[in-house]
């Protein structure tokens, strides 16, 4: 098959992804797309590991009644911290996790648990904070000790207030933070490309990317209205409802999103379905 025959041939797609940028880009390039790479954020360990270590040790000493895992990244970061500490911390932590009732916000925390030989007891009815709350509504949480692994450094006031209002004792941990990964000038270049309609689509894979893009746009005169106007002329893709909700909150219409499996490969399939040549859109599905 020639390059011209590939489903995304002639399409240019902007990718604000950071952690798996090359993987995401390669999947699109394989399907004929040209990609504009601009990693907007990166993930780092919590700058002070001591509160994370203390939270893990408290869990080991007296396991929670329930544990809510909002991200797979957070669990991986805690395990990595335990491994760096040496001794028995990692094994003790994993062993203490096993009997705790574990609720995950979506599939990624479940995947992180499986790598430890564990599994989620429940998955939220939707991979959002509201989905977690809806899953717990109607349960008697009075007096329960509930651990919550947060999304970055977001305190998730909505979830914590719900749990405390239901009578639970809540203990939170933030194993990682988001940090800017590129100079502002590079983000400005991405915004300029969007304004100039130099891309056909932009594919967001985290809510943090959305916030970072608008943060920089607001520093320019009429920057946010111009960005909103530019995005309205493009195909805007979201990897899942958390990202989609963030875009909608900024006034952006989401044109496509996987229906149930919120990962990059299903997102690529949706991009092919939306932008691809109909004669070749069924090719390269793997």
Residues 20 and 134 in one domain: no
CATH of the domain at 114: 3.40.50.10090
Residues 216 and 252 in one domain: yes
Look at residue 3 and tell me if it is in a domain.
no
Work out how many domains the chain is built from and give that number.
2
How many CA within 13 A on the CB side of residue 143? 0
Look at residue 1 and tell me if it is in a domain.
no
Tell me the average pLDDT across 14-39. 90
Residues 174 and 212 in one domain: no
Tell me the average pLDDT across 27-32. 95
| Residue that finishes a domain, picked among 127, 155, 178 | 178
Residue 278's pLDDT band (boundaries 50, 70, 90)? low
High-pLDDT (> 70) share of the chain, %: 95
User: Domain range holding 270?
Assistant: 12-42+180-275
pLDDT at 171: 98
pLDDT at 186: 84
Tell me the average pLDDT across 229-239. 96
DSSP states of 131-199 as a string?
HHHHHHTTS--TT-EEEEE-STT---HHHHHHHHHTT-EEEEE--EEEEE-S-HHHHHHHHHHHHTT--
């Amino acid at each position: 098959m020639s390059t011209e025959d590939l489903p995304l041939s002639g399409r240019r797609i902007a990718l604000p992804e950071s952690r798996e940028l090359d993987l995401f880009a390669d999947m699109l390039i394989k399907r004929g797309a040209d990609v504009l790479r601009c990693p907007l954020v990166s993930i780092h360990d919590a700058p002070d590991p001591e509160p994370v270590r203390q939270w893990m040790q408290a869990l080991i000493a007296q396991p929670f009644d329930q544990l809510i895992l909002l991200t797979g990244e957070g669990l991986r970061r805690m395990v990595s911290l335990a491994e760096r500490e040496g001794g028995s911390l990692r094994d003790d932590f994993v062993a203490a996790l096993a009997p705790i009732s574990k609720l995950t916000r979506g599939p990624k925390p479940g995947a992180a648990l499986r790598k430890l030989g564990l599994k989620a007891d429940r998955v939220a009815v939707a991979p959002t904070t509201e989905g977690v709350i809806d899953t717990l509504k109607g349960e008697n949480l009075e007096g329960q000790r509930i651990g919550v692994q947060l999304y970055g450094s977001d305190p998730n006031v909505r979830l914590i207030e719900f749990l405390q209002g239901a009578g639970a004792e809540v203990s939170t941990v933030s194993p990682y933070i988001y940090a800017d990964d590129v100079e502002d000038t590079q983000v400005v270049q991405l915004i300029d490309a969007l304004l100039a309609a130099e891309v056909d689509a932009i594919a967001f894979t985290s809510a943090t990317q959305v916030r970072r893009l608008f943060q920089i746009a607001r520093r320019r005169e009429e920057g946010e209205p111009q960005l909103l106007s530019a995005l309205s002329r493009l195909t805007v893709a979201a990897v899942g409802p958390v990202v989609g909700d963030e875009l909608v909150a900024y006034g952006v219409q989401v044109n496509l999103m996987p229906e149930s499996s919120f990962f990059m490969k299903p997102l690529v399939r949706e991009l092919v379905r939306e932008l691809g040549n109909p004669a070749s859109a069924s090719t390269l599905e793997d």
